[in-house]
């Protein structure tokens, strides 16, 4: 549990956690939404992966990340706490209108 709190103590990682809890995103979505460099997003995702928090799905050459169902289940109380804060509410409101997967080719291309 200490490692989870260390992970979420970083502002960018808590934002990534909220994003990936909300939906599935590729690295390019995360970097565009949070205005971060791809290398930084990848470094943060390595930390999530090391704690077995990610569900990973490959589509062609793109990889999509989300918080795994098991992690959601294990962290239910923590997530309920996070959901009550303005940061969560603000990010999920922005995510509801965010156009994701613009880096992927359109179907049929």
CATH number of the domain encompassing residue 43: 1.10.10.10
Q: What is the pTM of this model?
A: 0.86
Q: Check: CB of residue 65 under 8 Å from CB of residue 25.
A: yes
Range of the domain at 37: 2-95
Is 76 part of a structural domain of the chain? yes
Is 34 part of a structural domain of the chain? yes
CA distance 33 to 99: 9
Is 109 part of a structural domain of the chain? no
Quote the number of domains for the chain. Answer: 1
Residue-level pLDDT at 108: 52
Is 101 part of a structural domain of the chain? no
pLDDT per residue rounded down to tens, the chain (109 residues):
899 999 999 999 999 999 999 899 999 999 999 999 999 999 999 999 999 999 999 988 889 999 999 999 999 899 899 888 888 889 999 998 898 877 766 555 4
């Amino acid at each position: 549990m200490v490692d989870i709190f260390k992970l979420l103590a970083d502002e960018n990682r808590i934002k990534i956690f909220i994003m990936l809890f909300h939906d599935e995103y590729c690295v390019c979505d995360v970097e565009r939404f949070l205005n971060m460099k791809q290398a930084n997003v990848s470094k943060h995702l390595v930390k999530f992966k090391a704690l077995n928090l990610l569900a990973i799905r490959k589509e062609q050459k793109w990889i999509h990340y989300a918080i795994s169902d098991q992690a959601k289940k294990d962290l239910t109380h923590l997530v309920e706490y996070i959901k009550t804060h303005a940061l969560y509410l603000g990010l999920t409101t922005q995510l509801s209108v965010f156009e994701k997967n613009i880096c992927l080719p359109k179907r049929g291309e």
